[in-house]
Structure formats: structure tokens, C-alpha cells
Structure 1
Amino acid sequence: MNCFVGVDVGTTNVKALAMPDDLSEILAHASAPVTTLNPEPGYAEQDPAEIWLAFVQVMAEVNRELTNAGHTITHVAFCTAMHSLLPMNADGTPLGNAILWSDNRAEAEANNLRTKQADLGKAIYKETGTPLHPMIPLCKLAWMREHDPRLLRRTAYFGSIKEYLWHKLTGEFEIDYSIATATGLFNESKRQWSKLAMDYAGVRPNQLSTPVPTTYQRPYKPRSEAAGTGLPAGVSLVIGASDGCLANLGAGAIKPGTATLTIGTSGAIRQTVRKPLRDAQVRLFCYFLDEGYYVVGGPTNNGGNVLEWVSEKLTQQDTETVLTEAATIPPGSDGLLFLPYLQGERAPLWDASVRGAYLHVDWQHTRAHFVRAALEGVLFNLLSINGLLTEHTGPARVIHANGGFAQSTFWVQMLADMAGIPVRLNASNESGSMGAILLTMKAAGIVKTLDEAAERVKFGDTFEPDLTRYKTYQQAFKQWEDGLKKL
């Protein structure tokens, strides 16, 4: 049986999922962890060699499972995290670690584009669709221009983690339009690098990869460094798109009125639109998925990491115990509120320096109250981002939920009760890998449009809102917003 493999390169794990071209079943699955390094406060990096080894490991495992079962890989497609920056030599050798989306070293450069050079910042946003924040390579390069100009000059190519992997497999420096639109350097309408952004960043056009469509393919020609993957010659490598865009596609959230809410380490809420969209106040991203498909929304720095903080540092309990404790407290946490800004914030504030807080702390509040309020705060924040999104796209009628939080029925039901609309889960929670496979179906000519591809998505449970809890949460959300205004 012929099959497709979707590879999801995230900041926590590298995962691979194999399915037949009719998507009837999961044929193989593998995962390997990767480590985030914090060499200085505010820094977040990863060793590209470790990412490559994780990729080789999962590909070899999936390939072995498929071969033993008599299946043949015909296509491998890539879903990768956005906003990474990796300096490389002309032969693709890294000149340091990859700087991740969560790295805040370029805070001053981002603030400069939002304040002192606001007109330039808005002009760049209009071209690129990328909000101005330390996360984006545009600001990271500007930081390098000020703090490490020698590295800026001697780097042959500045790329993402995907470009590094792609070069290891193909020998070519190429970048898909989706990852490119997340750099802050790409003119979305012209499908080329923005001179305005490059001039600000201090980078030359020949230091950036060649942009290509998300369905772009290259036949795999075995290279010595990729021998460990076990991939045979001739397998079609599909360059794919970003994790946020493919999470929408993999969740089947392509049509108007359907939002996707993802919570992994961080989080985001998004909708798919047919034309590029810009927010006058530069609060929402708009990333390319495919011709006629753009993913608009807002990301938060504070998602599953808040649960991790509550578990490891606040309560010193495992997450299952923490969630069980939180369920003993009524909706609204008896008035206790949490602003979840443990690691600065992207949307809705776009302020890397902001920090979290508990509000309305009372004698009656127990440890379980603090836990539930933290979980509610994460969702309140995402729903506040959804309010910005609704101004442009209209209200969502259903939310498709994915990411690690979707494994907690308690947290997903909380979302439905807060939003007041149904929340639907997918049959598989691997939305990034699934999105890569669905994109491959178009690249392979099996479907003509992504609408047709999304119709193949299979769903699991749907969580209906409890209207009594919804009213309670509406009141709590107003108080939460009042607290946010006081930050």
C-alpha cells in the first residue's frame, strides 16, 4: 500500500505520522523529544544537530514499521514551527543554535518598530502580515545587526529550522511561502522578499532562501547525511507549510465560521480566510497556506506552559492531580482571576515585558482555586484574542480544538462553556502532521482544492456548552478584562 508521511517539527517534539492516500487509518507513528536551551534570561535556542537526529530517528522508525508491513512511502511533507532563525554557511553548516519563537532578546528592536519607527513598522506589517514582536526573524536580525554585526555579515544564509532540514535532504536553500510570511521579511502579495524589511534588518537578498509554494516538491536523491532515515530514492519531498496553518487544515477548519484553537506549550486561535487580511492596530497575523487560503489569528505565549508552571512550581503535583483538583472548584473560581502572562505576551498585548498576576485573592481561596483560575485565565486570554479576530471575520459558530490540552476533557468542556458554542475534537490530535498529509493530497493531484481535502478529516467528540456556566463565565470575563486594563 502506498502512503504519505506528515512530519511535524515542533519546539517540544519531532513527530511523524503515516497514512494511506485514502486516509483510512494510521499506519505508523513516531515521536522524539528535543531540548530548548536558555543560555541567558529571555533567550530560547535549540541545537539544530539534535533536531536533525530527532528527525532521522522518527523517519527511520516510521519507515521500518511501514516496510515490515509491506507499505511504501511515496510522499513526505513537512509541518514546522514558525519564527526560528538559524545562521548557516554556504554548505548549510549551522554557525550557532537556532533562535526560537519564544526568544525575547530582540524586545528593544520590536518596540522600536512599534513606537519610534511606528510608520515603518506599520508599512512592514502591511506588506508582510506579521505583527511586530521579538519572535519574528525580522527583529532577531535587527538585534544581530546591533549586537553581532560580524555574524550578520559572514552568514551565507539565514534560514529556519525547516530550511536547515530541507537543505540536509535536498542540498537546496528553499522556503515555503507559509514559513516565509511568518518571518516579517516577505512581501505576501508579490511573493518575494520585502526590500523595506530587508533594509531595516540589515540582511542581503542573497542571504535568504528561494521562496516556493507550499505544495512544491522535489524527488528525494539519497545524500550520505540522510542515510539513517531509510528513505529510498524517488520519494517525493513536499515542502509543506507552518504549524499554525496546517493545524487549521488538519482540523478541517477551512470554511467561514470555523475557528481553530490550539494549546500546546503556547497557543493560538485562528480562522481561514480567502483573501489577505490586515488589522489596523497590527494585532493579528495573516499567514499564507495556499493560493486563496490565508490563516488569520493571534498567538499567545501562555498555554500549556501555564499548566506546567502550576504543576511543577505552584503545587508540585503531577498534571493529572492538578486537573482533578481544579474540577472541584466551581466555574469562575469564586472570583479569583489569573492574567496568564508568565513569559510576556504576543496577542492581544504584543508586549514581551508584561507579566502575570492573580487578582481578587481572598481568604476562601485554596490551592485548587489558584489552579482552576490559571486554567481559566489561559482560555480567557485566547477568547480575548478571538474578540479581535471576530471584528474582521465575524463570529465563529464552532471551535475545532487541538494540541496537548485537547487530551483533557475537563479543559475542553471549560472552553465550550466559556465560548458558548460547540467545541469539536478531531479523531486524531496530530493536526499538524494531518495538515501536511492533506496538503500533500493536493500536491499529488488527489484533490483539487483544500476544501476538498478538509472534507476527508474525521472527527471525534463534540462538547456542547452549558448555558448556565456560560452566563457565569461572561460575568467573570468582564471582570478579567477590567483587570487586564489595569496592567
Structure 2
Amino acid sequence: MYSIGLDIGTTSTKAVLFSKDNKQVDDYEVTYPLIKEKPDFAEQDPEVIVAACLKTIRELVKQASINKEDIRLIGISSAMHSLMVVDKNNVPLTPLITWADNRCAAFIKELKSSSKGKHFYEKTGTPIHPMSWIGKIQWLRTERPQIFKQAFKFLSIKEYLCKCLFGIYVVDQSLASGTGLYHLKDRKWDEEILKFIEIDNNQLSEIVPTTYELPSLTSQRQLDLSLTDKCRFIIGASDGVLANVGANAIKPGTIAVTIGTSGAVRTIADKPITDEHMRTFCYVLTDDSWVAGGATNNGGLALQWYLNEFAKELKNIDGGKSATEQIIQEAMTIPAGSQGLLFLPFLNGERAPYWNPDARGSFLGVSMIHKRAHFARAVMEGVIYSVYSIVKGLQESIGELEIIQASGGFARSDEWVQMLADITGKEIHLPETYHASALGAVLLAKHAIGENYLFSASKQIINKVFIPNEDNHARYEEMHNLYERVYQKLENEFAVFVEMQNK
């Protein structure tokens, strides 16, 4: 018997096939664009994403050459903070507004600096940032009043998929807790916040546990997906919390670092945890477990941007190295610290630990000695400096964290994972599959149907262990301290750049 983890990400959807003993068998991926019509906008076409979900499952079954009757379980993972508006017929009135969208930054800046902003954070565990639905809905109310008046439901992409496939409006507690509208302790939509943004409960989906079993597919949908009526669907959770489960980062002192398009640092907690300085988030995993941590807007996206804009001549070699592998190999010819070249990776503003949508990317310390390889390495280091800042902030909130379980697309590069070990000074464990969110979705689904206990079944075989190089770590400590000092000095200037970019 087989299970599938459906992982709906920011730039692609992946369907990953797992055997009965949770070993990865095969995977299929469909990519789609992030639409940026204006500097602060970051949108997607929800219909394209739903089509990608259908295709990944259908093509995975075909590619793996297995009997469709042997697929008995599908768990769903989804990126957080997306928002779209639909009418009474479930027709989209807006594109999907993603976590990377900053259009409500001015409103959020004002709210964050107020006592009300901190009060909302303490209740919800969601930092006051443009990713939150509070800002997105407020922007729609003031800038798109006609759409706001027509809004039948405000949905995430997973909710929209559930309505399309199963005919119901439901949202799992995990995704609900990332909206900024969900009361962590009362476990329901927060009436005070809904009143603040002038919407009501009826415009939101029904909140269900992350173990909720969705209705059976129609016969036509079974054909569309190459499945049978024997396959059960579990709603699952957000990709972030599921990455911890899939990476086996479920013990005290262990954290999961996931770097895909964006990046995140997370650890499991047995109670809701918030931070005095509002640097970290806290989201629901199950009825008695939460995930605390922080996310960066700029992960592998930063290296892809550099590759696209400054190394266009590098092409994927048939049967050989990809363009990404080539630029990483080139970067590794440069010593740790990039000979004093520093990159602030804030191409999309920044979430943790600064939560500053106005932050912008910068190269500093540029001199005539720096070549393309220096810049490539500085970009890779800058992404990990951002992760390290989150690790430090999380440790201040909950105590020392010793071991990192790594996952996400960056984990395909041993060089980048070793850089994570060297910068953080911590031992890095690399699980057998880097599809941690998809595996987490399957393990949660099996927990939901009583096939296993979640916190004992996620033990993965560790594929590799990376030990920090102490000399490199010492150098990186100097560079990271410089990174944080430079950010503080530039913090009040970033808004000027944003203003100039928006003219």
C-alpha cells in the first residue's frame, strides 16, 4: 500500500509517493510563476495551482507505474499566509495574494508600533507583518472596496482546493493559526480582530483539526486524479509545521531548518509560545502541540535571482551539472566570509527576526578583488546569516538548541548544508528525503487514521551528518555580527529605497 504527500508550495506543487514503511518511492513536480506586476505585489493564479495539484497526483501515479487501487491515503501540505476572495459561486474575485506580498506595508507598520498590534500578536502568535491576513484584508477594504463588498469567503489556496475537490469550505487549525485571525488558546476565530478588519465568521471557513478526513471524491474526480474510492484524504497542516514532523525535529533541543524558495527555523513546543520582542511565530500542529519559530522571505529565491540576472550564460548540461550546481561549485572556490563581501538578502522585504517589509537587499564591502564567484558565495552566506539570526532569537525565547535537521531544496547541495553547519556552529542532520513537508503530511495522515502515533513514527534514517568547521565558524561569527550591525544602521533608510522604487 502507498501514500502520497501533496505539498503545495510557493513556486511549485510536488506529489511524493511513499511506501508502507514511509520510504520515498517517487515524486512529480509542477512549477508555476510568482506574478509581480508591481514592486510590492506577489500574486499567483489559483486556477493554475489547482491544475498543478491535479496533474502532480495523476502524473505521479502514471510515472510510478503502480496500481491506483494501492494508493490508500493522501495528506495535504500547503504554504502559509496566502489569501484570495471568492463569490457565492466560488469564482475567484482576486488572484492569490501570497506571503511575499507587501502592498499593505504602511498599514502594518502603523499597527505593529501600536499597543493593539502587540495585543493581537500575543493572542494569535502571528507576527504583525504584511503576510498576515489582517493587513491583506484591510488593504482590500480600503483599496478594493467593491471586491471587499462582494466577498463571500476569504480563503487560502488549500481551502480553495478543498472546495473545488470536495465541495466544502474547511481550514485546518495550522493554516488558520497563520492568518493572524485565530486565537491560539481559545482555538477559534478571534472576534475582536474580525471586528477590527470588519468581516465576520461567515466569511471564513470552518476550522477543523489537522487530522480531519475530507469527504470522498466524486467518480469524475477519481478519474481526473487516477485514484479510486479506496483512497482517503486528510486535510493536513501547513508546510512549515509538517517539515518538522518529516525531518524528525520533534524532540527538545532539536530544530528544523527548511530552505526552499523562502526559509524557516522551527521547533516543537507543548504549549503556545510568544516572544516579548515579537520576533517569532507560534502555529498549531495538533490539539496538544505547537510549532514556534521564524521565517525568512529570502531563501533559494535569492540564489536563483542571482543566477538569472548575473550568470545567464550558465546552462543546464544534459546528463551533467545544472546551472545552480555550477554556480555553487564556483562559489566554493572562495574562502568562508567571501573575503569581506557581505550580502543582505532582503530582496522581498523580510520576516523574522526583523519583520520589516521595507528591508531591501544590499552588497556591502565591494572591492576590485571581488569576482562573480565572490558574489555567488556572498548570496549563499547571506541567506544563512538570515537563518542564523532567527536561530539566535528562538534560543532566547525557549533555550539552547543543539541539533538542526535540514530539509528543503537547499539540502540537495552538500556545500550549502555545510555552510549552515559552519555559520550556526551546530551539527546538521540530513534526513533520507528532503521532501520533509510531504513526508510530514503522510505521517500526520497515518496518525489521523490510527495507523501510527505521530511522535514516534517520524523517525527517519539520517542520510548525512555535517560537523561545523570551527575555523570557519569563528570567521562567520565576525561576519554575522557585522551583518546585524549593518542592518541596524540601514533599518531607517530602507523606506527611502522603497519610496524611490515605487515612483
Is the TM-score greater than 0.5?
yes
- Summarize the alignment of residues 76-87 of structure 1 with structure 2, pairs less than 5 Å apart: 76-87=74-85
Q: 1:337 to 1:168 in 2, by over 3 A?
A: same
TM-aligned CA deviation for residue 221 of structure 1: 3.3
1:51, 1:226 → 2: CA distance? 18
Query: Which letter maps to 2:97?
Result: I
Find out whether 1:242 has 2:238 as its counterpart.
yes
Q: CA-to-partner distance for each residue in 1:21-47, whole Å, 9 max, x for gaps?
A: 322x33442211122212222111111
Q: 1:98 to 1:255 in 2, by over 3 A?
A: same
Partner of 1:452: 456
Say whether the 8 Å CA contact 1:78–1:239 is kept in structure 2: yes
Q: 1:330 aligns with which of 335, 338, 353?
A: 335
Q: 1:462 aligns with which of 465, 468, 471?
A: 465
Query: Which letter maps to 2:9?
Result: G
Q: CA-to-partner distance for each residue in 1:140-162, whole Å, 9 max, x for gaps?
A: 00111111122112111111000
Query: Which letter maps to 2:434?
Result: N
2:208, 2:65 → 1: CA distance? 31
Partner of 1:60: 58
Partner of 1:49: 47
Say whether the 8 Å CA contact 2:411–2:434 is kept in structure 1: yes
TM-aligned CA deviation for residue 378 of structure 1: 1.1
2:238, 2:468 → 1: CA distance? 31
Partner of 1:477: 480
TM-aligned CA deviation for residue 224 of structure 1: 4.3
2:85, 2:276 → 1: CA distance? 33
Find out whether 1:152 has 2:136 as its counterpart.
no
Partner of 1:11: 10
Query: Which letter maps to 1:343?
Result: N
Alignment length, in residue pairs? 481
Find out whether 1:256 has 2:260 as its counterpart.
no
Find out whether 1:353 has 2:358 as its counterpart.
yes
1:434, 1:249 → 2: CA distance? 8
Query: Which letter maps to 1:221?
Result: L
2:238, 2:425 → 1: CA distance? 29
TM-aligned CA deviation for residue 347 of structure 1: 1.1
SS in 2 for 1:218: coil
2:475, 2:290 → 1: CA distance? 35
Partner of 2:217: 221
Partner of 2:201: 205
Q: 1:232 to 1:152 in 2, by over 3 A?
A: same
The answer to which of 221-230 and 284-293 deviates more is: 221-230
Q: 2:407 aligns with which of 389, 402, 408?
A: 402
Q: CA-to-partner distance for each residue in 1:249-302, whole Å, 9 max, x for gaps?
A: 110001111111111111111111111001112111101011222111111111
Q: Which runs of 4+ in 1 moved over 6 A?
A: none
Say whether the 8 Å CA contact 2:176–2:182 is kept in structure 1: yes
1:70, 1:175 → 2: CA distance? 28
The answer to which of 253-262 and 11-20 deviates more is: 11-20
Find out whether 1:299 has 2:303 as its counterpart.
no
Q: CA-to-partner distance for each residue in 1:98-155, whole Å, 9 max, x for gaps?
A: 111111111122112112xx11111111111100111122210011111112211211
Partner of 1:32: 30
Say whether the 8 Å CA contact 1:416–1:463 is kept in structure 2: yes
1:94, 1:82 → 2: CA distance? 19
Query: Which letter maps to 2:354?
Result: L
Q: Specify every segment of 5 or more residues in structure 1 that has no aligned partner in the other structure, as ranges.
A: none
Q: CA-to-partner distance for each residue in 1:304-335, whole Å, 9 max, x for gaps?
A: 11111221213434322321221111111122
Say whether the 8 Å CA contact 1:38–1:45 is kept in structure 2: yes
Q: 1:143 aligns with which of 139, 146, 155?
A: 139
SS in 2 for 1:217: coil
Say whether the 8 Å CA contact 1:337–1:358 is kept in structure 2: yes
Partner of 2:440: 435
SS in 1 for 2:397: helix
Find out whether 1:372 has 2:364 as its counterpart.
no
Say whether the 8 Å CA contact 2:61–2:68 is kept in structure 1: no
Q: CA-to-partner distance for each residue in 1:369-420, whole Å, 9 max, x for gaps?
A: 2221221111111101111100112122111111111111111111111111
1:155, 1:165 → 2: CA distance? 18
SS in 1 for 2:24: coil
Q: 1:64 to 1:323 in 2, by over 3 A?
A: closer
The answer to which of 97-106 and 367-376 deviates more is: 367-376
Q: What is the TM-score with the length of structure 2 in the denominator?
A: 0.92
TM-aligned CA deviation for residue 358 of structure 1: 1.9
Q: CA-to-partner distance for each residue in 1:61-116, whole Å, 9 max, x for gaps?
A: 2333567447512221100000011111233222221111111111122112112x
SS in 1 for 2:369: coil
Q: Specify every segment of 5 or more residues in structure 2 that has no aligned partner in the other structure, as ranges.
A: 315-322, 491-503
TM-aligned CA deviation for residue 227 of structure 1: 4.1
Query: Which letter maps to 1:87?
Result: V
SS in 1 for 2:77: strand
1:433, 1:452 → 2: CA distance? 17
Say whether the 8 Å CA contact 1:152–1:203 is kept in structure 2: no
Query: Which letter maps to 2:368?
Result: W
Partner of 2:493: none
- What value does the CA root-mean-square deviation take over the aligned residues? 1.6
Q: 1:10 to 1:104 in 2, by over 3 A?
A: same
Query: Which letter maps to 1:483?
Result: V
Q: 1:71 to 1:202 in 2, by over 3 A?
A: same
Query: Which letter maps to 1:127?
Result: K
1:262, 1:150 → 2: CA distance? 39
TM-aligned CA deviation for residue 460 of structure 1: 0.9
